[in-house]
């Protein structure tokens, strides 16, 4: 799957990746024909631990989610690896672990520990030299060159766009396959990012975040190759759950609820019940 994603990056057109955060979201997205899925750290930590994306999840927590997602889907997955969960040895261990777990690529960022969600306040970055060493280690640690290293910098918010661009250029020279300048705050800033690099660029489309939400055509025109949508799924899910649960609370039933429900019979198939039924037929006692 890493090879297929690496090949797709060389083809024309924007790649749009939905954020997956649990096995239901992963299985739904997996059957829809996307080129790649994005394991969102925010959503995965929230779903798995019920905690904020603030450096509270461990490598062990997250590599287990990577493995579960990869084993339960066929679409290549790019997985959020935070800061690599420590120093250089941790980065080496994390890259090897994510690749062995079945991810097609890993996203690593230059925040200080504990890290925070990229569209929340209070983020600070480590010195550039330390961040570059992490990317070099990550590039060396992978067993296949098709396993993608996505290097993210959070310097824009605290140190300005010039420093973020400087870091992106250094990360590209250190061996990153894609550059991710987090949280540009205008289309003009996004245009400057696109004009600065000749390597594939990541746009983080967070509904309600710091960066403008743009169309496919707009992102392509600005020079971006991969657009990730980490929050769309769990925000939509949260709204739907609040609506239907509110109906149950208010009326004691869903009989008159006007919202959309995933058909129960289709959901049983999505979760693999057809294999269970077939197994039971084949092994039924005579």
Mean pLDDT of 156-162: 94
226-256 per-position pLDDT tens digit: 999 999 999 999 999 999 999 999 999 999 9
2-237 CATH choice from 3.40.50.300, 3.20.20.60, 3.40.50.620, 3.40.50.720: 3.20.20.60
pLDDT at position 2 over 90: no
Q: What pLDDT is recorded for position 66?
A: 98
CA pair distance 145, 140, nearest whole angstrom: 9
| Distance (Å) of CA 28 to CA 22, 31, 134, 178 | 10, 6, 34, 26
Whole-number CA gyration radius for the chain = 20
Q: What pLDDT is recorded for position 54?
A: 87
pLDDT at position 1 over 90: no
Among residues of the chain, what percentage have pLDDT more than 70? 97
pLDDT at position 286 over 60: no
State pTM to two decimals.
Answer: 0.94
Of the given ranges (123-132, 156-165, 276-285), which has the lowest mean pLDDT?
A: 276-285
Average pLDDT, the chain: 94
Q: What pLDDT is recorded for position 115?
A: 78
């Amino acid at each position: 799957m890493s090879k297929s994603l690496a090949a797709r990056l060389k083809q024309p057109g924007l790649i749009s990746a939905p954020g997956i955060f649990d096995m239901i979201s992963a299985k739904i997205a997996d059957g829809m024909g996307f080129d790649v899925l994005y394991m969102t750290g925010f959503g995965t930590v929230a779903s798995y631990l019920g905690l904020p994306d603030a450096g509270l999840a461990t490598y062990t927590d997250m590599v287990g989610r990577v493995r579960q997602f990869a084993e339960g889907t066929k679409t290549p997955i790019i997985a959020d690896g935070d800061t690599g969960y420590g120093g250089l040895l941790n980065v080496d261990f994390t890259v090897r672990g994510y690749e062995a777990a079945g991810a097609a690529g890993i996203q690593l960022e230059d925040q200080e520990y504990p890290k925070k969600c990229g569209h929340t306040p209070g983020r600070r970055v480590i010195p550039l030299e330390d961040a570059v060493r992490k990317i070099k280690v990550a590039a060396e640690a992978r067993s296949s060159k098709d396993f993608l290293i996505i290097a993210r910098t959070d310097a824009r918010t605290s140190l300005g766009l010039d420093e973020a661009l400087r870091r992106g250029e250094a990360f590209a020279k250190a061996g990153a396959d894609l550059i991710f300048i987090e949280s540009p705050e205008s289309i003009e800033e996004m245009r400057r990012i696109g004009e600065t690099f000749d390597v594939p660029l990541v746009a983080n489309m967070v509904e309600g975040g710091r960066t403008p939400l743009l169309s496919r055509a707009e992102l392509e025109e600005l020079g971006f190759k991969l657009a990730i949508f980490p929050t769309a799924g769990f925000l939509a899910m949260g709204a739907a759950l609040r609506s239907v649960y509110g109906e149950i609370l208010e009326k004691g039933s869903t009989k008159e609820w006007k919202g959309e429900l995933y058909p129960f019979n289709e959901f049983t198939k999505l979760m693999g019940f057809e294999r269970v039924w077939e197994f039971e037929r084949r092994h039924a006692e005579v």
